[in-house]
Amino acid sequence: MIIPSQAQLPPPICRKALRDSNLELLRIVSMLLVLLIHYVPSRLTPTPETIRTDFWSVCLNLELRSIAFVCVNCFILISGYFGIKWKFRSISGLLFQILFYGGIAWLIGYFAQYHGLGDHVNLEANPIHATFTERWFISAYLVLYLFAPILNKFIDDCDKQRLGRFIIVFYVVSTLYGYLLLDEEFNEGMSMVSLAGLYLIGAYIRRYKIPVFSLPASYDLLIYLGIGVFLVLTSIVTLYLGIRKSVYGYLDPFIIIQAIYLFLFFSKIKVKASKPINLVAASAFSIYCLHHHSYVYGLYVYGCEIINQHPSVSLLLALIYFAAIYMLCVCLDPLRKLLFKWLCQSLAFMLHMFSSIRSKRFKTPFA
């Protein structure tokens, strides 16, 4: 019986500890694209009417969508590539991060209301609903996080062919029932089920090399951009035909392929390990937690509307706006980490004291 060497075995999920700066850079780009995709609706809406009255503005809107719609998919591909390491401290830290930025959102909303911007905040929203369940990505990602150990075990138990076949079947079903028939279980890609499929793809890319994933990085970028142009052209045709339904969606197979090739591009480029990049990337999830909270999302949209009042420099102003929001969270994150560390130490101290008191209370003369 021949026992394969360690080098011949596929690497088990969740055992890679290195943080590659190229993929951390993609994490930053993905969250900037989230800000972009939430900015796009404030611009001219593509409709069969606007495509005829303002063709180039609609084309720009469509191109921005084509660039940005891969944002969530890329974020989850990164999670699948590295593997979610399930630890109680990790899930506690994630929950604390969501709560912390919920509190920051309330403070910003209260400050804005005090200064006459009350029409753009929603401080009356239920805090638990607004912080956890109102935003689909928060609830879906938390469920994915909880089920990650099961997914990781499945990935480790599969060989290349079995995992590949499962992913193909999954996306046949996803495209048919989720994208075309709008099945509620898939919720147009805004569900844990859809995120799980992307997680499996990320893990597959890390473990196995196949020809379509082994192209030069420049080809990967060209495929990403080419699919974007294809989506723009398809949208223009459908709008001229009077079809109002957008071709863009998280379950669109073209957008999933587009996200894969953008991910592959970043995975192949050479970026030396960089502490600044990794530090900024660590705040990526905080951006979503803050700007998309219902307490302050109206303020974000209001800022986008102000930017669009200067059409000649709107994209430049939007980039500055996104960078400012990102840097705000980067500056707030050390406080979040410090508070979480203090909370963990306080709880550990209390448990230690409780344990000491309990042991003394039940101590017998024969101990």
User: Please, what is the average pLDDT of the chain?
Assistant: 89
The answer to whether residue 363 is domain-embedded is: no
Q: pLDDT value at position 6?
A: 41
The answer to whether residue 5 is domain-embedded is: no
Percent of the chain's residues with pLDDT above 70: 92
- pLDDT tens-digit readout, 221-249: 999 999 999 999 999 999 999 988 888 98
Average pLDDT for residues 99-121, to the nearest whole number? 90
The answer to whether residue 10 is domain-embedded is: no
Q: Give the Cα separation of 165 and 42 in Å (integer).
A: 41
Q: pLDDT value at position 4?
A: 41
Average pLDDT for residues 155-169, to the nearest whole number? 94
The answer to whether residue 364 is domain-embedded is: no
The answer to whether residue 41 is domain-embedded is: yes
- Give 264's contacts (C-beta < 8 A, 6+ positions apart): 205, 213, 215, 217, 220
Confidence of residue 67 (pLDDT cuts 50, 70, 90): very high
- pLDDT tens-digit readout, 202-224: 999 999 988 899 999 999 999 99
Q: Which domain holds residue 208?
A: 19-358
Q: pLDDT value at position 272?
A: 83
- pLDDT tens-digit readout, 10-38: 555 444 444 568 999 999 999 999 999 99
- What's phi and psi for 245, nearest 5 deg? -65, 130
The answer to whether residue 8 is domain-embedded is: no
**Overall pTM surpassing 0.85 (yes/no):** yes
Neighbours of 326 (CB within 10 A): 21
CA nearest to 9, candidates 264, 208, 267, 210: 208
Average pLDDT for residues 150-178, to the nearest whole number? 93
Contact 14, 152 (CB under 8 A): yes
DSSP 8-state class, residue 280: H
The answer to whether residue 111 is domain-embedded is: yes
Q: pLDDT value at position 274?
A: 85
Q: Give the Cα separation of 190 and 194 in Å (integer).
A: 7
pLDDT of 366 over the 60 cut: no
Q: pLDDT value at position 363?
A: 52
Q: Work out how many domains the chain is built from and give that number.
A: 1
